[in-house]
Amino acid sequence: MDDNRKRKADASHGRSGAKKSKPWMVVKKGQHYQSPPSIEPGDEGIWATCEMGKEGKCTSDLRDLFEEYAALLYGEVKGEGEDAGDDDNAEVDIEAEIKKEVQGMKSKTTKTGPLFQTIKMDIQCVLFFKTRAPIEPVGFVHKICKDAVEGATRKHRWVKKLTPMTMMGKATVEGLERVAKDVLEPVFHAEGTLPKKFAIRPTRRNHNVMKRDDIIKQIAKTVGGKHSVDLKNYDHLILVDVYRVRRKHPPTPYSAFLPYSFRSEAKLTNLCVSKNVLGMSVVGSDFEELKQFNLAEIYDPTPKPAGKSSNAKAEAEIGDGQRRANTSSPEPQLVQSVGVITNHLASADKESTPTETE
């Protein structure tokens, strides 16, 4: 029989079939994997809250608002190394040029990075915008809220509260000490600083490692005994926000080295990384006047419940007075209306009156 008439073997059976490629993600030569941005110690930024389910729209609104105020306050922002070129005839210092180039290589990402970088987190109604120089979070947010109070046009719909953070750190005892020292010393321990009144307002969310009292004690220790505590008429308010951040971790080229139970794409997309972060800032005495930096309250204030409660209380007092007048002396009313009442009915009414009033 000729070899041409032989039946060819099916590639799907036996070992002679075509070798299937493995679905591994391998890092190519020269390729560097960049993890998504996250909150790191030493960062500064702005926390923001929004309506539930409107995180995406709120992010877009805030980015437009922040970029508008950045252009208004700082103009066209340039990198630190973008100085005017020197004269060609000027002498060139080789060592200075080398140092400048090395410094530029180290801070290249800082120069070219955006002023506002959104950090995606798996927390409902909470956003975080990482900022860089020259943005100063406290003054930046204060300007936005001050203009809103003075009647600036509202250009956002879903934004609620803004909380500036001068410095971020790890939510540990050591991290709190480091952040408190860097943030509070320029305000409370500078030369010629007079005694000031301060208050501490910690906020915790999804966090149970550090207790509220421990946070307050450590901050008060850093401030020192020269300054006094005043919860209402303070000169400075210290804001401390402690969060447990859950960030979705997308599949990476190194996912093939994970345990077998995590290799499927469905599980990798749901893989989250948790991190406890802490932020601190110092705001001024007009924090309450600016509705605690709550833009939603500034533009659409909630009706004060005090007016309703006073009216309800007054109506209740009037109603009680009328009931007392009706039940305290029923005998004269019955005598005037009917004209004849027996002693037995009068005594029965007197006995029933205390039970009704009770």
- Give dist(CA 124, CA 337) in Å, integer: 67
In this predicted structure, what is the pLDDT of residue 50?
94
Domain boundaries, the chain: 44-77+100-302, 308-357
Q: How far is CA 54 from CA 158, 295, 300, in A?
A: 7, 16, 18
pLDDT in tens, 36-94: 788 999 999 999 999 999 999 999 999 999 999 999 999 876 544 444 444 444 445 67
Helices 305-328, 343-357: crossing angle, 10 deg rounding: 160
- What fold characterizes domain 44-77+100-302? VC0802-like (3.30.2130)
Residues of the chain with pLDDT under 70: 1-35, 77-93, 99-112, 247-273, 306-358
Residues counted in the chain: 358
First CA to last CA across the chain, in angstroms?
116
Alpha helices in 113-263 (DSSP H): 137-149, 173-188, 212-223
- Decide: residue 26, CB within 10 A, 0-12 exposed, 13-18 middle, 19+ buried: exposed
Parallel, antiparallel or unpaired: strands 197-205 and 236-248: parallel
In this predicted structure, what is the pLDDT of residue 85?
42
- Give dist(CA 229, CA 329) in Å, integer: 56
Q: Which of 196, 273, 266 is nearest to 235 (CA)?
A: 196
Alpha helices in the chain (DSSP H): 55-74, 94-106, 108-112, 137-149, 173-188, 212-223, 265-269, 295-299, 305-328, 330-338, 343-357
Contacts 24+ apart (CB under 8 A), 349-358: 353/327, 353/328, 356/327, 357/323, 357/324, 357/327, 357/328
Token couple for 352: 């029933």
In this predicted structure, what is the pLDDT of residue 258?
53
Helices 305-328, 330-338: crossing angle, 10 deg rounding: 60
In this predicted structure, what is the pLDDT of residue 58?
94
In this predicted structure, what is the pLDDT of residue 209?
84
Q: What is the pTM of this model?
A: 0.66
Sign of CA dihedral 334, 338, 339, 340: negative
Token couple for 321: 């007075």
